[in-house]
């Protein structure tokens, strides 16, 4: 197992962006930037014996900071915080006090606001090569940042195992009651040459999804997926039942015991023989097939566009801060936020 840190020479507010590389003894390789806790590369051996990168991204970290890219920020490969997905009407109440957020998705707030955790330089606080290659990043979000209350300290550990598992372990503490809902926004494509993902076979272990309004904000109601295009309880091609102009942008409530680490989804690409299995302690997984993805000059000079990748965003229920029937997303000063999500890569033998 190997861990390597490489300074990029790129600074934001005096903080240098570092590239951290994790490599296991099989040659599986993950490159992470402490800017946005971005997973920049995730390279594995496919069934054809080729080393293949399964995540979208850019060749250098400066491209993630490009003004044009950030105008329609797709959050490629980055951590999302303080709050994943949409908070309806960009406001919430805790202990009788209302907090107003920036409206950056129509009338709603999305993915932590205008400058969420995906645009912050995190501190590298620990690296290790044994028992597994790992790095721990830390970010302190100050009271009032993007409208959220409390000073929040978040630790995120990336650990690469010999079984080709990339484990993301989150912890967070606050000095004031606050809203928190973290996720990671990796864009995956398991085909050797990338491109449209409609032929990927997907299974999501969820019998229900969340109803949402025209602005994609959930309203607290569950929709059974049986006998609808939303049904992925059995493996099927992503494009089998979709509207090819819309794809999927839907939150699935996982069939699981709350808090248990269990299998959320499994995705297979026949042309590479790769399987991506995602395990999580979180109660929901948001499926996004990248309808709005627009990014130029990605890896190998490729331009990324709609339906070039899929995201499985493990998290708590979106807008739960405003819906009392959902599992709480309020973190108290005496509490500890924890989450584990695992990306496991294997071969379809």
List active site positions. 185, 313
Question: How many other CB atoms are found less than 10 A from the CB of residue 232?
Answer: 25
Q: How far apart are CA 46 and CA 10, in angstroms?
A: 33
Label residue 177 exposed, middle or buried (CB < 10 Å: 0-12, 13-18, 19+): middle
- Which residues lie below 8 Å from residue 39, measured CB to CB, with a gap of 6+? 30, 31, 32, 55, 57, 77, 158, 166, 184, 186
Q: Quick one: CA torsion of 36, 21, 197, 226, rounded to 10 degrees?
A: -70
The reply to whether omega before 6 is within 30° of 0 (cis) is no
Q: How far apart are CA 195 and CA 208, in angstroms?
A: 29
Q: How far apart are CA 141 and CA 83, in angstroms?
A: 12
Which one, of 16, 116, 22, 135, lies nearest residue 75 by Cα? 116
Which one, of 231, 282, 233, 229, lies nearest residue 259 by Cα? 282
């Amino acid at each position: 197992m190997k861990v390597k840190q490489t300074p990029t020479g790129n600074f934001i507010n005096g903080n240098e962006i570092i590239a951290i590389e994790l490599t296991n003894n099989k040659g599986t390789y993950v490159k992470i930037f402490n800017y946005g806790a971005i997973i920049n590369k995730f390279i594995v051996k496919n069934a054809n014996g080729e080393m293949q990168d399964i995540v979208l991204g850019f060749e250098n970290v400066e491209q993630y900071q490009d003004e044009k890219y950030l105008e329609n920020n797709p959050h490629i490969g980055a951590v999302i915080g303080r709050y994943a997905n949409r908070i309806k009407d960009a406001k919430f109440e805790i202990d009788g006090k209302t907090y107003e957020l920036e409206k950056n998705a129509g009338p709603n707030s999305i993915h932590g606001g205008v400058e969420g955790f995906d645009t912050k330089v995190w501190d590298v606080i620990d690296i290790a090569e044994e028992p597994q290659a790992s790095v721990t990043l830390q970010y302190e979000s100050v009271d009032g940042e993007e409208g959220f209350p409390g000073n929040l300290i978040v630790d995120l550990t990336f650990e690469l195992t010999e079984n080709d598992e990339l484990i993301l372990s989150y912890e967070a503490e606050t000095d004031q009651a606050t809203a928190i809902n973290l996720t990671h926004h990796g864009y995956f494509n398991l085909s050797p040459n990338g491109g449209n993902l409609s032929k990927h076979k997907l299974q999501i272990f969820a019998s229900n999804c969340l109803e949402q309004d025209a602005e994609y904000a959930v309203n607290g109601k569950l929709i059974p997926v049986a006998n609808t295009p939303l049904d992925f309880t059995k493996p099927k091609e992503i494009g089998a039942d979709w509207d090819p102009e819309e794809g999927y942008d839907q939150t699935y409530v996982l069939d699981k015991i709350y808090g248990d680490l269990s299998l959320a989804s499994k995705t297979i690409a026949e042309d590479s023989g790769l399987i991506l299995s995602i395990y999580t302690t979180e109660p929901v997984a948001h499926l996004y097939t990248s309808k709005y993805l627009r990014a130029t000059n990605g890896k190998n000079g490729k331009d990324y566009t709609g339906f070039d990748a899929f995201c499985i965003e493990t998290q708590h229920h979106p807008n739960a801060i405003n819906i009392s029937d959902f599992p709480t997303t309020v973190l108290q000063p005496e509490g500890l936020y924890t989450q584990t999500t695992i990306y496991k890569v294997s071969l379809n033998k």
